[in-house]
Amino acid sequence: MSAAHSTSLRFPRLLLTGAAGGLGRELRRRLKAYCDVLRLSDIADLGAAGPGEEVMPVALENKAAVDALLKDVSAVVHLGGISTEHSFEEILPANITGTFNVYEGARRHGVKRIVFASSNHVTGFYRQDEVVGTDVPMRPDGYYGLSKAFGENLAQFYWDRYGIETVSMRIGSSFPEPRDRRMLGTWMSYDDLERLVVSSLTAPVVGHSVIYGISDNATAWYDNSKARHIGYRPQDSSERFRAAVEARQPVIDTKDAGLIHHGGGFVKQGPFDKT
């Protein structure tokens, strides 16, 4: 595989959290091209360390362990935590406490750049006929989205007080291909994911910047015009999947909240409260 991004910058040590997840496994093999050592972490099994890899399993809610994780790191790609909707009680330690621990570790060890896997679910309650920029009020569509909103606010705070820079990527739907008509708008190819992550790592000045992570799809309800300083130029598009996707899902019920919002079915999940 040749690198999707043309940078010549190379980091001594990158930390990738959530490296055992779907996007983590993709980025594990892709980020090697941009660093000397790739430190991998997850609570799930990561297998053996390959060449140029370090494997450090941690639970993100373990503050001491996360602190160790951040030591000697040049920059972080933080995918770790729960990546779909769960109960508040499950989301809280992994995503809220865990992300706090990552930023505290970064502060203590002098790490200056974090690429944070935020989510389209931070703004999931906008309708699909509303095109939104990166500075609209948050409208999370569940506990997962709330935890990502918390992470973005945390990133803003660590920038404002401590000068730690973050790019919060509001990732759409990064899969091999779009699964339904909503994903014709939210899809991001793995190559574009790599482009976005590497742009975010290498852009000279980002402060705390928010950007929607989608490919160059014809259909979109996101406006990244305030994030062009990051230098992300997607090269793929969901358009080649349109006919197949539409054939599978010809009808949209515009009364169905799960079909008409940015966040799709997330807006209807729960309640997770079983009492």
Choose which of 21, 24, 142, 213 interacts with its own copies (CB under 8 A).
Answer: 142
Residue 184 binds its own copies (CB under 8 A): yes
Output the smallest distance, CB 164 to its own copies, in A: 10
Choose which of 102, 154, 193, 196 interacts with its own copies (CB under 8 A).
Answer: 154
Q: How far apart are CA 208 and CA 212, in angstroms?
A: 14
Residue 135 binds its own copies (CB under 8 A): yes
Choose which of 53, 54, 67, 90 interacts with its own copies (CB under 8 A).
Answer: 67
Residue 235 binds its own copies (CB under 8 A): no
CB 116 within 8 A of CB 155: yes
Residue 146 binds its own copies (CB under 8 A): yes
Query: Using alpha carbons only, how large is the chain's radius of gyration in Å?
Result: 18
Q: Which stretch binds its own copies (CB under 8 A): 22-30, 32-40, 50-58, 249-257?
A: 249-257
**Which of 126, 144, 158, 222 is the catalytic position?**
144
Contacts of 133 (CB under 8 A, 6+ apart): 222, 223, 224, 225, 226
The yes-or-no answer on residue 126 being catalytic is no
Cβ distance to its own copies smaller for residue 42 or 191:
191
Residue 68 binds its own copies (CB under 8 A): no
CB 157 within 8 A of CB 130: no
The mark string for 94-113 relative to its own copies (x by CB under 8 A, - otherwise) is --xx--x---x--xx---x-
CB 183 within 8 A of CB 148: no
Cβ distance to its own copies smaller for residue 17 or 166:
166
Residue 45 binds its own copies (CB under 8 A): no
Choose which of 18, 80, 140, 213 interacts with its own copies (CB under 8 A).
Answer: 140
Choose which of 34, 150, 187, 190 interacts with its own copies (CB under 8 A).
Answer: 150
226-258 burial: b if 16+ Cβ within 10 Å, else e = ebeebbbebebbbeebbeebeeeeeeeeeeebe
Output the smallest distance, CB 49 to its own copies, in A: 26
Segment holding 209, helix H or strand E: strand 208-213
CB 241 within 8 A of CB 184: yes
Of 221, 223, 218, whose CA–CA distance to 245 is shortest?
Answer: 218
Cite the active site residues.
Answer: 144
